[in-house]
Amino acid sequence: SHLEEKTQWEHPKSGKRKRVAGGLPYGWEQETDENGQVYFVDHINKRTTYLDPRLAFTVEDNPVKPTTRQKYDGNTTAMEILQGCDLSGKVVIITGANSGIGFETAKSLALHGAYVILACRNMSRGNDAVQRILMEWHKAKVEAMTLDLASLQSVQHFAEAFKSKNVPLHILICNAAVFGVPWVLTEDELESTFQVNHLGHFHLVQLLEDVLRRSSPARVVVVSSESHRFTEIKDYSGKLDFSLLSPSKKEYWAMLAYNRSKLCNILFSNELNRRLSPHGVTSNSVHPGNMIYSSIHRNWWVYTLLFTLARPFTKSM
């Protein structure tokens, strides 16, 4: 692993172990860097690496039982990931939690003891989601609260309502998003994809930052997408082009607007982590996966058709 700068002898999923057979190949030498990490020098080819060249000559060791953490793969469910975790006393806010990934996250956290607030635009659907969770465990601490990210005033009201509860906030998951929607301006005169996917969450985090700090250790999780790779928000001179963030109807393309909003998510999360991590609040952005079937495609029949055709090959909720 060049990220951790070490060689791992145990398979991360199967738990099978290997062991070294014999010494280093001719011309190789083992050294230690200033951080105490072992690396290897190939004097013949004049190169260094953290990859142990003896990996080519390992033999099977006695297999060990893998831990729960080592079992994670494409078939792992949210409930399995949290197995054994006691989240009693933790307070969580999840935006867009009445369906899809947000609902599965909310359900899993609630069933492991957390007090979960489903921040939803549609309160009817939010309350339905609450009842579905309570049907699985009647003692779950879960409730729905109104939050419309397309309205900065709604974001303000939600933050004030949450603060009036006088509870801490340990986890804030910015999950809600729209995809493939036609061009429309919000009541704040901003393009809706940009405001719902990014700016609304940005404003929400700013309003709740003081609660997060007081609740440390706390975390913010921003659900982004690999789609961020396929766009740019700079002009030809390399400066931020604000006209690209909230474009006019003439310059609007739904897919590009989504990609830009996801890039903003990542830039925001990175900077948030830089500013707040010294205060005990971490922030991470996450790509939820290409092969997960959700309802994010619902706004255009073309995307619905494509998602339907791909569904047999995707991970089910």
Q: Is the residue at 65 inside a domain?
A: no
Q: Clarify whether residues 29 and 112 are in a common domain.
A: no
Q: Clarify whether residues 18 and 122 are in a common domain.
A: no
Q: Clarify whether residues 142 and 270 are in a common domain.
A: yes
Query: To which residue do tokens 């493939």 refer?
Result: 180
What pLDDT, on a 0 to 100 scale, did the predictor assign at position 158?
A: 98
Q: Is the residue at 309 inside a domain?
A: yes
Q: Evaluate whether 201 touches 173 at the Cβ level (below 8 Å).
A: no
Q: Which are the catalytic amino acids?
A: 258
| Domain boundary, last residue among 57, 72, 98 | 57
Q: Clarify whether residues 27 and 168 are in a common domain.
A: no
Q: Which portions of the chain are predicted below pLDDT 70?
A: 1-9, 11-16, 19-22, 56-71, 73-74, 290-317
Q: Give the range of the structural domain holding residue 16, as residue numbers without chain letter.
A: 8-57
What pLDDT, on a 0 to 100 scale, did the predictor assign at position 281?
A: 98
38 DSSP β-pair partners: 32
Domain count, the chain: 2
Q: Clarify whether residues 121 and 258 are in a common domain.
A: yes
What pLDDT, on a 0 to 100 scale, did the predictor assign at position 226?
A: 82
Q: Is the residue at 155 inside a domain?
A: yes
What CATH number does residue 47 fall under? Answer: 2.20.70.10
Strand 47-49 relative to strand 38-42, pairing: antiparallel
**First-to-final CA distance of the chain:** 32
Q: Clarify whether residues 35 and 167 are in a common domain.
A: no
Q: Is the residue at 294 inside a domain?
A: yes
Q: Clarify whether residues 151 and 292 are in a common domain.
A: yes
What pLDDT, on a 0 to 100 scale, did the predictor assign at position 151?
A: 98
Q: Clarify whether residues 209 and 298 are in a common domain.
A: yes
Q: Clarify whether residues 114 and 220 are in a common domain.
A: yes
Q: Is the residue at 296 inside a domain?
A: yes
What pLDDT, on a 0 to 100 scale, did the predictor assign at position 314?
A: 63
What pLDDT, on a 0 to 100 scale, did the predictor assign at position 303?
A: 59
What is the torsion angle, in degrees rounded to the nearest 10, for the CA atoms of residue 209, residue 213, residue 219 and residue 220? 10
Q: Is the residue at 13 inside a domain?
A: yes
Q: Clarify whether residues 107 and 36 are in a common domain.
A: no
Q: Evaluate whether 95 touches 147 at the Cβ level (below 8 Å).
A: yes
Q: Clarify whether residues 274 and 221 are in a common domain.
A: yes
Q: What gap in Å lies between CA 251 and CA 234, rounded to an integer?
A: 15
Q: Is the residue at 96 inside a domain?
A: yes
Q: Which residues contact 185 (CB under 8 A, 6 or more apart)?
A: 191, 192
What CATH number does residue 266 fall under? Answer: 3.40.50.720
Query: How many residues can be counted in the chain?
Result: 317
- This prediction's pTM: 0.72
Q: What gap in Å lies between CA 129 and CA 108, rounded to an integer?
A: 13
Q: Clarify whether residues 48 and 92 are in a common domain.
A: no
Q: Is the residue at 138 inside a domain?
A: yes
